[in-house]
Structure 1
Amino acid sequence: MTYPQPGHDATRPHPAVSGVPGPYPPVSGLPGPYPPVSVVPYQPGGYPQVAQRISVQPPLTSGMATASLVLGILGVLGGWCLFGLPCILAVILGHVALRETRDGTRSGHGMAVAGLVLGYVFVGPMIAFTVMAFFGGVLGAATPAP
């Protein structure tokens, strides 16, 4: 709820505003809100010179970390068919990638850790499967058929 201002008659309409206010008078001696614009002279080549920007590139991603992650995923999806070889390679490359990314000159530490986790989680069952397949084949060939 709004209350009337003191000295204001609510029955009388507001006075009409006449015209639009003019521009603000210039203030001398004070700098403007923006820095002065520098004009670049025309160059004979047709284009004005442009200030060069310094760009900082992020560190390169470690290839070993990427390979470790890819092999870890392959080990999860098809490691049983490949007798755990991708998981073993993921573990080896993951440790190499951790050493590469330790000092910060290369990125990819998270991918290396993910490759190691996938490799270690699935390397044990895959090695057990490979050993069972190998010994099952050897024992089956060595045992005479009835």
Structure 2
Amino acid sequence: MSDQTPASYPPAPPAGYTPYPAQKSGTNVLAIIALVGAFVFPLAGVICGHIALSQIKRTGENGRGLAIAGLIIGYVYIAFIVLMVIIAIIVGVAASSAGYSSYSY
């Protein structure tokens, strides 16, 4: 016989005790929607991104980077659209005040 004793295992935790906090390992769906939506409809990307960050903070899911990327892309796209509208208005006002009119004297 050998003098070695079998390996001892730690005692089992008490009933009803979970040794590790339950944490979801999946990616937040709204974070994915925020990233995709930022390219298609930027306002949806921004809204879903903010909601996703709130859910991720509360539940501990993955996808924080996706939500932030959706927010950044959405905000940049919205700013670009607003800038283009402002430029179009300025160009339109400048063209109309430059003397181009359909009235002839």
Partner in structure 1 of residue 29 of structure 2: 63
TM-score (norm 2): 0.56
Distance 1:145 1:64 in 2: 53
Task: State which structure, 1 or 2, has the greater radius of gyration over its C-alpha atoms.
Answer: 1
Identity %: 27
- Superposed counterparts of 1:15-34, under 5 Å: 28-31=1-4
Decide whether aligned partners of structure 1 residues 68 and 33 sit closer, same or farther in structure 2, where only a CA change above 3 A counts: same
Higher relative helix content: 2
Asked which structure has the greater RCO (Cα within 8 Å, sep 6+), the reply is 2
Q: Secondary structure in 2 aligned to 1:31?
A: coil
Match of 2:79 in 1: 124
The answer for unaligned runs of 5 or more in structure 2 is 8-21
CA–CA distance in structure 1, aligned partners of residues 72 and 6 of structure 2? 56
Aligned residues: 83
What is the identity, as a one-letter code, of the residue corresponding to 1:62?
N
1:1-146 alignment, distance < 5 Å? 28-31=1-4, 58-72=24-38, 74-75=39-40, 86-130=41-85, 135=89, 145=102
Structure 1 unmatched runs, 5+ = 1-27, 35-55, 76-85
Cα deviation digits, residues 19-47 of structure 1 (max 9, x gap): xxxxxxxxx3323899xxxxxxxxxxxxx
Shift of 1:87: 1.6
**Cα 1:145–1:67 shift into 2, 3 Å:** farther
Offset of 1:122 from its aligned partner? 2.1
State the one-letter code of the partner of 2:63: G
Q: TM-score with structure 1 length normalisation?
A: 0.43
Residue 60 of structure 1 deviates from its aligned partner by: 3.0
